[in-house]
Amino acid sequence: MSYQHKTLGEFINENQHAFKYSTGELSSLINSIRLAAKVVNHEVNKAGLVDITGAAGDVNVQGESQQKLDVYANDKFIQAMINRNIVCGITSEEEDDFIIVNSKDKNHQNKYVVLIDPLDGSSNIDVNVSVGTIFSVYRRITPIGTPVTKEDFLQAGKHQVAAGYIIYGTSTMLVYTTGHGVNGFTLNPAIGTFYLSHPDMEFPKDGNIYSVNEGNYLEFPEGIKKYIKYCQQIEEDRPYTSRYIGSLASDFHRNMIKGGIYMYPKSTKNPNGKLRLLYECNPMAFIAEQAKGKASDGYTRILDINPTELHQRVPFICGSINMVEKAEAFMKEFS
């Protein structure tokens, strides 16, 4: 079967043996995310036709205004995973605390916890710009048969067993890794099936795109300012092209395909950075490294950072390896 005609379900079944915990549970978990993604995609595509855009009137734990679709996507993904009876815990960017999941017939026997950003870039919904979902999966570290604790979620990113994202754009794509490379699947909306469209995705070693919110330039560290000026210099291979969507999944996806660097550094307004380590940076860093890219906070490998809280924020630099290492050199030189 050629990859163009291979469905996500077929791909999961064929590659299940490559996963060292091959019990079928992880495959079922990916399938539950696939199902929720199709439901959320259907709702996203109705934005403007039904009362689903705009603020929900609530504020999440980070103090950010929740959009209606934030709440909807959060509910759908949590419901899909609980209904499949395959996770023992879930935590979400939209929830104050983690959720303990149990089934009467399993008594805390499930092995996986999921961390999720249900709708990344949701403020873009009102203006019809691509948004996404980002997810991360770990094996629990507390004893099976007991309720999960915060310790199960506060694991360094290098311990992830799977991570991925879904983009709801001109086409809907699900991209994920289980530690054996990165593959992308595109939804055929006519029949509701994801097909393998982007096998073995990799970052080019170099690129010519830099993605950063330059409106915050004056608040950035000196190393980032110098790197941005480097990107803008007129040289044989520069200036680079500036492209910034404001939806992490979309910016990351473009840079992985075309070659580029994404930066959300710390600033005077956000001294610890703005992106969440557990829901955004760790899963994207895992995908980046599996796609031969690199992810850093400017000094340290993202996947080596030991989390101390569920909603921890960190600076984030991610993309083509040579570009990230050049940015790190500027950070070190002007630290």
Q: Would residue 79 count as lying in a domain? A: yes
31 and 122, same structural domain?
Answer: yes
162 and 19, same structural domain?
Answer: yes
Q: Is 94 annotated as a binding residue?
A: no
233 backbone dihedrals φ, ψ, rounded to 5°: -65, 145
270 and 190, same structural domain?
Answer: no
Q: Is 122 annotated as a binding residue?
A: yes
Q: Would residue 37 count as lying in a domain? A: yes
185 and 303, same structural domain?
Answer: no
How much is the average pLDDT of 252-266? Answer: 98
Higher pLDDT, 233 or 107: 233
Q: What is the pLDDT of residues 33-80, one digit of tens each?
A: 999 999 888 887 775 554 445 454 455 555 555 567 888 899 999 999
The rounded distance, in Å, linking the Cα atoms of 301 and 319 is 13
Q: Is 22 annotated as a binding residue?
A: no
19 and 122, same structural domain?
Answer: yes
How much is the average pLDDT of 227-256? Answer: 96
What is the pLDDT, as a whole number, of residue 27? 83
pTM score of the predicted model: 0.92
Buried b (16+ CB within 10 A) or exposed e, 102-138: beeeeebebbbbbbbbbbbbbbbbeeeebbbbbbbbb
Residue 276: CATH number of its domain: 3.40.190.80
Domain-terminating residue out of 130, 165, 198: 198
Q: Is 274 annotated as a binding residue?
A: yes
User: What letter does residue 253 receive in the DSSP assignment?
Assistant: H
**Whole-number percent of the chain with pLDDT over 70:** 89
Q: What is the largest CA-CA distance in the chain?
A: 65
- Indicate the number of domains in the chain: 2
Q: What is the pLDDT of residues 97-119, one digit of tens each?
A: 999 998 666 778 889 999 999 99
90 and 38, same structural domain?
Answer: yes
233 and 320, same structural domain?
Answer: yes
The rounded distance, in Å, linking the Cα atoms of 153 and 310 is 7
What is the pLDDT, as a whole number, of residue 72? 87
Q: Is 85 annotated as a binding residue?
A: no
What is the pLDDT, as a whole number, of residue 57? 47
Query: What's the token pair of residue 253?
Result: 């996806």
Residue 267 structural domain: 209-333
Q: What is the pLDDT of residues 324-334, one digit of tens each?
A: 999 999 999 99
Least confident of 112-126, 133-147, 171-185, 294-308: 112-126
39 and 181, same structural domain?
Answer: yes
Residue in the block written with tokens 């593959």: 183
118 and 249, same structural domain?
Answer: no
Q: Is 280 annotated as a binding residue?
A: yes
What is the pLDDT, as a whole number, of residue 13? 84
Q: Is 115 annotated as a binding residue?
A: no
Query: What's the token pair of residue 149?
Result: 């604790």
What is the pLDDT, as a whole number, of residue 108? 84
Q: Is 171 annotated as a binding residue?
A: no
Q: Would residue 88 count as lying in a domain? A: yes
Beta-strand relationship, 162-168 and 172-177: antiparallel
Q: Is 244 annotated as a binding residue?
A: yes
CB 133 within 8 A of CB 249: yes
Q: Is 269 annotated as a binding residue?
A: no
Q: What is the mean pLDDT of the chain?
A: 89
Q: Is 117 annotated as a binding residue?
A: yes
Q: What is the pLDDT of residues 175-192, one digit of tens each?
A: 999 999 999 999 998 899
